[in-house]
Amino acid sequence: GTAYTYTVRARDAAGNLSANSASVTGTTQTTGGGGGGGNKLLGYFAEWGVYGRQYFVKNIETSGSAAKLTHINYAFGNVTNGQCAIGDAYADYDMAYTTANSVDGKADTWDAGVLRGSFGQLRKLKALHPNLKILWSFGGWTWSGGFAQAAANPTAFANSCYNLVEDPRWADVFDGIDIDWEYPNACGLSCDSSGAAAFKNLMQALRNRFGSNYLVTAAITADGTSGGKIDAADYGGASQYVDWYNVMTYDYFGAFAAQGPTAPHSPLTSYSGIPTPGFDSDTAIQKLKSKGVPASKLLLGIGFYGRGWTGVTQAAPGGTATAAAPGTYEAGIEDYKVLKNTCPATGTAGGTAYAKCGSNWWSYDTPATIGGKMTYSKNQGLGGSFFWELSGDTTNGELITAMKNGLG
């Protein structure tokens, strides 16, 4: 509620000063408005990346990304028998790292008490970056089916998660827990009918068990349609128990609809001809705000990969296709680090990029479109941004750098 008056004058390289400009007066708001968003920058580390992708915790450091990140989500722990469980014991804490692949250049030993695997490497990464926080994420697309049983006894589930995250072998590695339930009271790989209150009850139990000194977060749907997945669960009510939500504002469209229409999989805003109105980031963010979720508890999602089709004749979005475009690990999906060279972006729609190369059509975010999304995050007063996942970036962290520069 304070008035300020500003004048500007210019100075050239020789030190010459111009006259003062005309004055401009502005008054600050009495309550928080848009802008001034948070600078949380969170990246997912996929536990299976140490196999075919040969992406190790060391790569987070050598790419320069570790110094830019505020948080890492380790994905995924399993959810089974109503409990949190190890996802891949070998990758998590058993795999012995060589001198070449280790964060600190020291090979793992088989001595008693030595923490091997990615957990041991994350411990070494935290030693280099003491302010870096790491959360263990449970569920994901494949393992969300177990949440229905977990929701039947939230207290028992929360106890199991605490005991696993705080296992003495790696308790110092983790600063919190992330729940990736796809999707409460709705359908993902399987369908859940545990009711609209189940998610809130689960998050409340986790907060009660972990207490205020641990981070408790969740990755949530970005379906902004009326009666869609955001409406299926009490995300507003649950928000009091979480530090923030990772809003999965990607995978809206893709070659899971093999004949198209082609559409950017992570539109920031709606655009003329979008196949499903409400499938865009801004609509999801506004819907969550309208349900009482504070803007500061929302992180905007970025995909470090593209989704694509083949058999496409039309360069602009909305074309027909015949199948998923070939991908290195999975048809219809390719890392940014590959696409930037094999199919450079030629246009934008809804605030994200697309390209047609031969008969293949891809959409993905570039440093330029990420800049626009980070500006949106700040203008909306969001808590920051996150991405899936680290191995999709270039070896020098092009996309993370764009996120960091945009968030400030």
Global pTM?
A: 0.91
Q: What is the SS3 assignment for 71? A: strand
Domain ranges of the chain: 38-304+367-407
Q: In this predicted structure, what is the pLDDT of residue 30?
A: 46
d(CA 365, CA 221): 19
* pLDDT tens, position by position, 208-220: 999 999 999 999 9
Q: Indicate which residue of 182, 334, 389, 398 is catalytic.
A: 182
* pLDDT tens, position by position, 275-284: 999 999 999 9
* pLDDT tens, position by position, 80-125: 999 999 999 999 999 999 999 999 999 999 998 899 999 999 999 9
Q: In this predicted structure, what is the pLDDT of residue 34?
A: 43
Candidate CATH numbers 3.90.1150.10, 2.160.10.10, 3.20.20.80, 3.40.640.10; the one for domain 38-304+367-407: 3.20.20.80
Q: In this predicted structure, what is the pLDDT of residue 11?
A: 86
For 263-269, what is the mean pLDDT? 98
For 183-203, what is the mean pLDDT? 98
Q: How far is CA 158 from CA 89, 151, 388, in A?
A: 21, 10, 25
Q: What percent of the chain has pLDDT over 70?
A: 97
* pLDDT tens, position by position, 4-15: 888 888 988 888
Q: What percent of the chain has pLDDT over 90?
A: 91
Give yes or no: 182 in active site.
yes
The answer on pLDDT for 221 being more than 60 is yes
The answer on pLDDT for 238 being more than 60 is yes
d(CA 42, CA 65): 11
Tokens read off for 368: 């330029």
d(CA 140, CA 117): 21
The answer on pLDDT for 200 being more than 80 is yes
d(CA 367, CA 252): 20
